[in-house]
Structure 1
Amino acid sequence: MALQLVQDAMHGPNLRLVSPSAVEPVGLGDRLVEMGWRASDSHHQVVRLAAEFAGTVEWSVAGCSSAAQWMSERLDVALRTAREWIAVGRALRGLPVLDAALSDRTLSYAKVRMLVRTATPETESELVGLARSVSAGALGSAVAAWSRAHEPEDVRDERHRETRGLSWRVEPDGLTTGTLRLPADVAGGVMALIDAAVMRHRRSRGDRDAAHVSDPEFIEDDLGGTAPFPTLAQQRVDALVSVLCGGGADLVAEVVLHVRGDGATLDDGSPISQSAVIGALSGGFVRALIHDAAGTPVNASGRQRHPTTRQKRVVTERDRRCVDCGGHDLLEFDHVPEFAISGHTYVDELQLRCAACHRARHVRSGLRGSGPAPTRERGTP
């Protein structure tokens, strides 16, 4: 059967070999898309076979302690990958709509493997429709928001409590990779603290970078030369180490919870439970942001250089994300036009940008070294 699958992949009816002299050559992108979907089709066959194989005694006869161990050794894959194949294959047996969506390429394997964790025979059709409306990268947040509306809150909170965890492994290059599972409200606090440490470090060297560096990809090093600007992931891991080792004891970070008629979320849209909001209220300092009848946050303006807390909240609620790239990471407030030109700070002249887009805009505008450094205020106060 496995041999037949390989032969089908090599000689299937959808495979077109195109010579350079063909009248309508298939573009490289078209070939890539087709082969990508073929990979999804192959995953479908693999998980089916994995679930079927796990129900036999063949792996036990071979002296293995589990079907996953047998597959790990024979197919040269990680044990966790083999276990996932078996779990997904078994789940699809009871989810015919999801199985058909994967079979007819309505959904990719990347989406289906996420949906089987939540779907039931009663909800799978609705989840297929949800998955078709968003990208694979956004599906996790979309399903979490859907679950909030369909699952009892105490059941969800208990599941989160039971499945929280921290694990790590050593990679071949000697680095250690870790995985942290936390409820969204707890994770929001952890990330806010890490990003506060990142922003403090950026501000500490912002003036020197603004005055001497004309390329947003480089910063001045400690020896007076230039070095590649660290990625956001690198800045965050440095900040995490600093916080864990005692360098962030004086950091103060604020987590903004959005409570609306359709539920509560963090700034990035991650859904949180009402119990998490109630828990935050019991020991937190609460500020209210007022909206007008149209749902627009009420304006707040002034002549000071740096935005006030109220102005930050209005702009954050209005823009929600970086106006250039749509990202949520390290959001800052950008004066447009510059404060040096306008001499005031109005909400209508503030835009929310991530640190990278903010920096790049100032470089493109030729502002580096010719005036004050851009305002590096954290977007989530």
Structure 2
Amino acid sequence: MDTRANATEPVAEMAAERLEAEIVALAGRLSAGTYELLVLVGELDARGTWAAWGALSCAAWLAEVADIDIGTARTQVRVARALRHHDVLDAAMRTGEVSYAKARVLVPHLTDHDAVVLVELAACTPAGRLGAAIAAWSRRHEDPDEIDRRHHTQRSLTWRTDPDGMVTLTARLTPQQAATVTAAIDHQVMTNHAPAGASLRQQRADALADTVTHGGTVTAEVVIHVRGDQPTLLADGTPISDHAVAALLPDAFVSLLLCDTARHPIDASPRRRTPTRRQRRVLDQTHPECAHPGCRATHFLQYDHIQPYTDDGPTTLDNLQRLCGPHNRARARGRGAGQPAPQAEGTGAREVIS
């Protein structure tokens, strides 16, 4: 459907169903158009005719004629070359199973040996989680020592001044470094008084600056999930080597999570209002996002009873969910709650039980 043919119909007057259908149709055409562009770019790159225009590379030529950033052009050329080399990727992008957003994450890790498996992984994984999924796959199939050496070599920290005068820092850390740094930052966020109206990103920026400039030792909890049949993971799903875990053990406090014969976590007593620390860890893993339909919040979620505790709702895993602050408060208002929900034992003010 050509939206230009319907230019006489104002977008503001479209029915919601029509608006959604137009967006889906246009997104499909954009995906198909991007694939066609990459096929053409790949052919031009292979012919080398871009040099006749005085360009130093196909990416430089593409950046100029398409008026895009050179980094974007290089990524497009990289994906275009992979399309020509890996038929399975070409077929997946042609049919729409793998989007360009997924392909640009996937391509640097494709080899002749694992292309089929990784393309299948990309087809069934949301784009926002593909990086972690590939990292977990690598932990299962690559030499852990080689991965650790690669991580050690590729660690970096850079910064640049943006046109508005702000400074952007870009850090690439090993998983164990990142676990320590992010835990320390979030510990500061949880313990410091947040400025009025400050977003989570702003609070983390303040916490980073405060931690670096004032120094000192920050004691923060780093949660690591160790399973015999799966890669060892940090709480956010980042794979971490067993070597790194072993190095942490001499100075670590180890808390065990017990499971039954079906590998389901053994629940705790329902005769308490606040979830136990073990229950919170299970919920953090099994419910990484706000349970409200359509909400994708993942940080500082609050624990909520599905059947209210005041209505004899038990504090068990199957009666608990995680909600972001606004949706938890809205649900409490809908239940007619007249008093603030109590805080969870041992947590910050943002971790509330209702």
* Band the TM-score falls in, shorter-chain normalisation: 0.7 to 0.9
Match of 2:219 among 211, 233, 252: 252
Alpha-carbon distance in 2 for matches of 1:300, 1:259? 21
**5 Å matches for 1:86-165?**
86-165=77-156
Question: What residue number does 1:273 align with?
Answer: 241
Match of 1:47 among 16, 24, 38: 38
Question: What residue number does 1:329 align with?
Answer: 299
Q: Do the aligned residues in 2 keep the contact of 1:168 with 1:179 (CA within 8 Å)? A: yes
Q: List alignment gaps of at least 5 residues for structure 2.
A: 10-14
| SS of match in other structure, 2:259 | coil
Structure with the larger RCO, 1 or 2 (CA within 8 Å, 6+ apart): 1
**5 Å matches for 1:259-338?**
259-260=226-227, 261-300=229-268, 311-318=276-283, 320=285, 321=287, 322=289, 324-325=291-292, 327-334=297-304
CA deviation after TM superposition for structure 1 residue 79, in Å: 1.5
Instruction: Determine whether 1:181 maps to 2:172.
Output: yes
Question: What residue number does 1:241 align with?
Answer: 209
Q: TM-score, normalised by structure 2?
A: 0.78
Q: TM-score, normalised by structure 1?
A: 0.73
Q: Find the structure with the greater CA-based Rg.
A: 1
CA deviation after TM superposition for structure 1 residue 259, in Å: 0.6
| SS of match in other structure, 1:89 | helix
Q: Do the aligned residues in 2 keep the contact of 1:289 with 1:314 (CA within 8 Å)? A: no
Q: Do the aligned residues in 1 keep the contact of 2:225 with 2:235 (CA within 8 Å)? A: yes
CA deviation after TM superposition for structure 1 residue 31, in Å: 2.5
Alpha-carbon distance in 2 for matches of 1:32, 1:371? 41
Identical aligned residues as a percent: 36
Change (3 A) 1:301 1:50: same
CA deviation after TM superposition for structure 1 residue 197, in Å: 1.1
How many pairs were matched up?
A: 334
Q: Do the aligned residues in 1 keep the contact of 2:82 with 2:89 (CA within 8 Å)? A: no
CA deviation after TM superposition for structure 1 residue 312, in Å: 0.8
**5 Å matches for 1:299-378?**
299-300=267-268, 311-318=276-283, 320=285, 321=287, 322=289, 324-325=291-292, 327-334=297-304, 352-362=322-332, 364-365=334-335, 367=337, 370=339, 374-375=343-344, 377=347
Letter in 1 for 2:146: V
Alpha-carbon distance in 2 for matches of 1:81, 1:372? 48
Letter in 2 for 1:171: D
Change (3 A) 1:34 1:315: same
| SS of match in other structure, 1:263 | coil
| SS of match in other structure, 1:180 | strand
CA deviation after TM superposition for structure 1 residue 116, in Å: 1.2
Q: Do the aligned residues in 2 keep the contact of 1:170 with 1:176 (CA within 8 Å)? A: yes
Q: List alignment gaps of at least 5 residues for structure 1.
A: 1-13, 206-220, 222-226
| SS of match in other structure, 1:120 | coil
Q: Do the aligned residues in 2 keep the contact of 1:92 with 1:99 (CA within 8 Å)? A: yes
CA deviation after TM superposition for structure 1 residue 277, in Å: 1.4
CA deviation after TM superposition for structure 1 residue 302, in Å: 9.7
Letter in 2 for 1:155: E
Alpha-carbon distance in 1 for matches of 2:19, 2:306? 42
Q: CA RMSD in A?
A: 3.7
